[in-house]
Amino acid sequence: MPRTARAAKGGVIYHISNRGNGRRVVFRKRKDYEMFLEILMAGRERASIKVFGFCLMPTHWHLVVRPRGDGDLSAYLSWITNTHVKRCRVRHPHAKGSLYQGRYKSFPVQGGRHFINLLRYIESNPLRAGLKKRAENWPWSSLGCDKKVASALLDTWPVDRPKHWRKVVSQPLSRADRDAVVASLKRSRPLGEDLWVRMTAKKTGKEQTLHPIGRPPKQIKKVR
């Protein structure tokens, strides 16, 4: 199956995710999390990109970003992943195999409630996984990170943050909203209203992600 085109348009919000090869643990100890955060902060200084949210989990990570210009996204993420792989090899010289399952997944995200739903989804990851009883107690996310990391890495949101945000994150998304985020993540499909999704998929070469998974049903010929 051919690869879908790598969307890298500037001025667009993207959800980025990557996970360990074979679901292997990417972040084993505190130092591993800290090292990746340092890479994220260094990468932000190298590229014209805004970071709105993140969550580092033991086996995978999420970012919500907006590159300024075309090509900035791929340059930023290529540097981050390549640098991370190299430093992990130095830190864990006896680890075998590839660190990541492959290239990162990325998909455009519409603003407004879809942006809010996405941040709720990724920042509540530690809560859903049972790692913490309160999502804000996970120090490796944009919700729970310390002020030093937040100041160096995070930018002001493009939408108004809901009041009592920590309580909002702790409340589960509706089934429909959660299914929309999960479907987009699995297919690298744009997240937003139906018309916006179709238009964005066409502009970014992701029309294939809108089609059902699997082969199309066979057409039965009528016998005359």
Identify the three-state secondary structure at position 109: strand
Q: Which residues contact 8 (CB under 8 A, 6 or more apart)?
A: 67, 70, 71, 72, 73, 74
Identify the three-state secondary structure at position 17: strand
- 50's torsion region: left (phi>0), alpha (psi -120 to 50) or beta? beta
pLDDT digits (tens, 9 = 90+) for 15-48: 999 999 988 899 999 999 999 999 999 998 888 8
Q: How far apart are CA 198 and CA 65, in angstroms?
A: 21
Sketch out the chain's domains with CATH numbers: 13-210 (3.30.70.1290)
Query: Do 47 and 126 meet the contact criterion of CB atoms below 8 Å apart?
Result: no
pLDDT digits (tens, 9 = 90+) for 49-104: 999 999 999 999 999 999 999 999 999 999 999 999 999 999 888 777 789 988 89
Show the 3-state SS of 90-102: HHCCCCCCCCECC
Enter the tokens of residue 6.
Answer: 């790598």
Cα-Cα end-to-end distance for the chain: 36
pLDDT digits (tens, 9 = 90+) for 173-212: 999 999 999 999 988 889 999 999 999 888 877 777 777 6
Can you give the pTM of this predicted structure?
0.88
φ/ψ of 106, rounded to 5, equals -145, 145
